[in-house]
Amino acid sequence: MPNTETGAGRVDTPPERPLAPVLFGSPGSGKGTQAKLLVRLLGIPQISTGDMLREHVRQHDGVGTAVEAKLKAGILVRDEVVNSLVEQRLAQPDTARGFILDGYPRTVAQADKLCAMLAARGVQELVIHLVVDYNVIIARLTGRRQCPVCGTLYNLVSKAPKVPGVCDLEGAKLIVREDDREPVIRERLEAYGRETRPILDYFREKGKRVYDVDASHDPPEGVFRKIEALIREQ
């Protein structure tokens, strides 16, 4: 029965082997948006290391204090910290039928750890590379605004709020996420090129298939239809 935003049916029967879609792509490629649509389609949880780290910062706990400056500067957090957060998260029972990774792995060392964790759990990865033009990325990231109350993301170009500068849901004044300021955007994109992109070759060398999905021009629902088709092929 159709029950997702895209009108597609939910995949109710889990595959024989739990599936882990791995959303891969530059900052601003839409990983978080696609991850949320996948949660609704597959009924398995989203694991976003960015969200997890931001939550620790909000809580002002040990991890939060250690990583706060890095997040503000757009610098990657140490592999050991992120690997351990993901490992703890994967120990939760809700991941038994699979999970959606968004923003992890970000380095070859993380990819190596992930492959070991997936093998140990008998989980099949599905690496989805969201391919987006550089200029589109810049426009998306510089136009991004967020509600400080409910976290909803807007974009001045593609998803403007009804009243400029104000959240549709909360009425709160929208803010620019600290790491969406221009010098930080540059650092995040450089970190992606330097540390994260090489993972694609690492996966290919290990014989893992990487599915390229063009995510430059279609609206999120259009990109999602391509991802959904890949899922149904598995």
CB of 177 to ligand ADP, least distance (A): 9
Whether 17 is catalytic: no
Characterize the bridge pairing of strands 144-146 and 153-155: antiparallel
Least Å distance between CB 106 and ligand ADP?
4
Catalytic residue among 31, 113, 140, 145: 31
Q: Which of 54, 106, 113, 145 is catalytic?
A: 106
Q: Could you say which of 54, 113, 140, 144 is catalytic?
A: 144
Per-residue exposure over 108-141, b if at least 16 CB sit within 10 Å of its own CB, e if not: bbbbbbbbeebeeeebebbbbbbebeeebbebbb
Shortest approach of ligand ADP to residue 187 CB, angstroms? 8
The runs of H, that is alpha helices, within 12-78 are 31-42, 49-59, 62-73
DSSP 70-104: HHHHTPPPPHHHHHHHHHHHHTSGGGTTB-EEES-
Residue closest to ligand ADP when measured from CB atoms: 50
The residues binding ligand ADP (CB under 6 A) are 27-28, 49-50, 53, 70-71, 74-77, 82, 103-104, 106, 110, 179, 188
113 classed as catalytic = no
Q: 57 vs 167, which CB is nearer to ligand ADP?
A: 57
Q: Which is nearer to ligand ADP, 73 or 172 (CB)?
A: 73
| Contact status, residue 234 vs residue 126, Cβ threshold 8 Å | yes
Q: Residue 11 has what DSSP assignment?
A: -
Helix and strand numbers, DSSP H then E, in the chain: 9, 7
Query: Between residues 11 and 49, which has the closer beta carbon with respect to ligand ADP?
Result: 49
Residue with Cβ nearer ligand ADP (114 or 126): 114
Q: Is 177 a catalytic residue?
A: yes
